[in-house]
Structure 1
């Protein structure tokens, strides 16, 4: 680790001011590669959603086929995250990280050349598998590169900022390319980033030692099938009533499989996820907050994209520009988040971020067609961006603190899996409520309720954070 803390002068009271951790040298380069991978994976979602109308027209996809372009990725990603984290712990995190990035990048290149919808769906599943290997291994590499404390918090904050910047850039690029060129160009945006990460990773990332153990085949199969069934059922809930067997059946099957998985893991000699991860109260609350956070934000992109294009007739690029203040505010706030957390503590910062998320969603719940963008949308986007930045850092720090060397990959896999399932739960709940209330106002109130759950988790945290 090369987190360097410069010597500080002693004050008149005889106490040195709290040093500000700095990230320099090889650690900075390693952080750049890890943050680049995180940004690439986050960039993929706005890219695909903006390109989806062009895919439907170019490949003759039905509404169901278009939904599978999204679902195939989510099922593979959500189902394999725990296995991906465990693989990094056993085989070496850099090795598994690079394998995931290579798979993700190759699939991103092939999807831009897909001759049919069936091929596109298959490639998207492969891409999800690559992300499931890369994401938890990348977070575990960050944990092994930066020890607990200010340096790690600053690294997590910078990763959050990089993800927000990539979302902002992705919105602009995807909107511009969709308006001026082909949807196939949009789908190739991840390829240069993936190739750069693969070239730099061996130079700046240290390999972690292999650990003796086995993969726990029963646990891996149950976790993959359970998470995939749950995610699939929740994605169907965005289109069908909850009472529909294709929704309730899959959600119920996923819940049963995950319950069996938990029972098997308690008896396994080398479980895919260490039960000790769930013995810490603050970590459990961090998982709960991470589960709820996507639901507090997903409605913003989902509802406002349709509001701008259908109600106001704005083109894709103008819509992307209108949404830009959210990720930009998130990036700016995330840069300062580590310093704020060090002074205020994880609990206070997390509660403040959740409160901003509640306020932003309730503000948008009052939005009407007659309202101006500057007075009624822009302030809410700023509140949501700042709230997200102040919510992500404390939850991530609490969820990853106190992990041993052999648990980092599993812990990262759980954190990513909870976030993925949370996104599916949030979208399903928002679409269900908005369809029954007849508008997006109910959806934003539901998002505020998810943010309230984050606030509850923050309030129950025992201390200022580790």
Structure 2
């Protein structure tokens, strides 16, 4: 692909990386920025306790549900075009959310924002793949990408709490307007359009994957609120299973599939997707339930709760940035295993927190371990998820990585919420809160253990068998 050049002849790699990272930071930031501000949002817009969860779920549903459609659209229509389209939708939706006069208005535009993120997110990783050569250059770029994702999640919690208490929760969304506008201008200046790929768009695959993933996420979210015996929960999950099975059948016959099934021909990629689902489920549970612990058990305000997450960032970012150098001495697989093991230790430590536990020893110290875990783990998992993929299918591979990310974030969190609810059934007051939060961290620990098992039996084991052939431009299985 042709690059734009400086007058000196050097490519604008720094500018391209900055555009990719800032746009991805916006996406991740808006997942976490609302968490510490939820009480203020509930107070101003009149959300009920049950409906408040949909401030997050409305975004996650459309984000996860339309991810594959957005990824394949970038492959077919051009990634810069879809990058700018997704960015424009996301930015305008942020403005509308900030101006929300009611709960219904906010939820509607959160869903639109999630759709914009679903178009934008796969393009960010696909552009990274096509602009940075495989090897050390791409490893370094992916490490920055992973660092930006993890750091922005924590920054979102800090920023959301500070703004909610000292300015307004709306400010967290308004800030996207100048950033989004600037990124659109920069994209047209520095990003070259990728070649369009002729062929029939896989509309049946797009529809079944979108409805199937959306139905699965909706069903698990609802189960946490209404129970597994709820008819709508049962119908949603059963319908989602049927749609996903139909989607697989369609993809086997599609000339230009929205998700090339050859992505799953590699133990490395398949293991990376499964491990990512479990790892992200545990990590989102960490953010969600630590916020609840700090505010409902320890009595912290929104701003102090946000600032209390700083230990999770102190070591996360430097370790993520150091991954390319560490890979030279230790393999990516070893870093991944060490990272997950450290995460298991940190999550298990958090499960012992109670009402009388000091913040420093019960929360801050295990947060340091969680930060190190994310820094060492996310970059190798991302690289494994796109390993051996040709440029023509880069969007589909990045879409699969992001779908795994969102399924872990939404379905994984819902599973933890359901487990925590079962463990605390019949309890009241502080005993209810402490038991529920402790059970959530125990469930997160179990998820990390399963993630470790998958990594060792797929990604690590694949080092001892011949690698799968790269996916061709047609993406045939």
Alignment TM-score, normalising by the size of structure 2:
0.90
Would the aligned equivalents of 2:132 and 2:138 in 1 still touch at CA under 8 Å?
Answer: yes
Aligned to 1:459: 456
Question: Which of these residues, 252, 256, 264, is aligned with residue 270 of structure 1?
Answer: 256
1:162 shift after superposition: 2.0
Deviates more, 1:68-77 or 1:410-419: 68-77
Would the aligned equivalents of 2:312 and 2:371 in 1 still touch at CA under 8 Å?
Answer: yes
Q: Secondary structure at the match of 2:354?
A: coil
Cα gap change, 1:464 to 1:201, in 2 (>3 Å): farther
Deviates more, 1:64-73 or 1:406-415: 64-73
Pair 1:442 & 2:439 matched: yes
Pair 1:290 & 2:276 matched: yes
1:379 shift after superposition: 1.6
Question: Which of these residues, 22, 47, 58, is aligned with residue 61 of structure 1?
Answer: 47
Aligned to 1:144: 130
1:44 shift after superposition: 0.3
Counterparts of 1:255 and 1:341, CA distance in 2: 39
Matches within 5 A, 1:224-263: 224-263=210-249
Deviates more, 1:383-392 or 1:186-195: 186-195
1:309 shift after superposition: 1.4
Pair 1:42 & 2:28 matched: yes
Counterparts of 1:232 and 1:380, CA distance in 2: 32
Would the aligned equivalents of 1:167 and 1:327 in 2 still touch at CA under 8 Å?
Answer: no
Would the aligned equivalents of 2:70 and 2:119 in 1 still touch at CA under 8 Å?
Answer: yes
Counterparts of 1:235 and 1:327, CA distance in 2: 28
Q: Secondary structure at the match of 1:86?
A: helix
1:431 shift after superposition: 1.2
Aligned to 1:368: 354
Counterparts of 1:380 and 1:415, CA distance in 2: 27
Deviates more, 1:159-168 or 1:377-386: 159-168
Question: Which of these residues, 257, 282, 296, is aligned with residue 310 of structure 1?
Answer: 296
1:98 shift after superposition: 0.7
Q: Secondary structure at the match of 1:209?
A: coil
Counterparts of 1:464 and 1:99, CA distance in 2: 43
Cα gap change, 1:68 to 1:372, in 2 (>3 Å): closer
1:227 shift after superposition: 0.6
Would the aligned equivalents of 1:361 and 1:380 in 2 still touch at CA under 8 Å?
Answer: yes
1:367 shift after superposition: 1.4
Counterparts of 2:422 and 2:108, CA distance in 1: 34
Alignment TM-score, normalising by the size of structure 1:
0.92
Pair 1:380 & 2:380 matched: no
Q: Secondary structure at the match of 1:377?
A: helix
Q: Secondary structure at the match of 1:447?
A: helix
Question: Which of these residues, 144, 163, 166, is aligned with residue 158 of structure 1?
Answer: 144
Q: Secondary structure at the match of 1:49?
A: coil
Matches within 5 A, 1:200-211: 200-211=186-197
- Write out per-residue CA displacement over residues 146-195 of structure 1, whole angstroms, 9 at most, x where no aligned residue: 11101101001111222233234323322122112222223223223212
Aligned to 1:120: 106
Structure 1 spans left out of the alignment, 5+ residues: 4-23
Q: Secondary structure at the match of 2:239?
A: helix
1:25 shift after superposition: 5.1
Aligned length: 446
1:362 shift after superposition: 0.8
Counterparts of 1:380 and 1:67, CA distance in 2: 26
Would the aligned equivalents of 1:434 and 1:443 in 2 still touch at CA under 8 Å?
Answer: yes
Q: Secondary structure at the match of 1:214?
A: coil
Counterparts of 1:261 and 1:60, CA distance in 2: 39
Pair 1:199 & 2:196 matched: no
Aligned to 1:355: 341
Aligned to 1:404: 390
- Write out per-residue CA displacement over residues 91-125 of structure 1, whole angstroms, 9 at most, x where no aligned residue: 11011001100100000011111222222121111
1:70 shift after superposition: 2.2
Q: Secondary structure at the match of 2:66?
A: helix
Would the aligned equivalents of 1:43 and 1:167 in 2 still touch at CA under 8 Å?
Answer: yes
1:404 shift after superposition: 1.2
Counterparts of 2:386 and 2:247, CA distance in 1: 22
Would the aligned equivalents of 1:295 and 1:450 in 2 still touch at CA under 8 Å?
Answer: yes
Cα gap change, 1:370 to 1:63, in 2 (>3 Å): closer
CA RMSD of aligned residues (A): 1.9
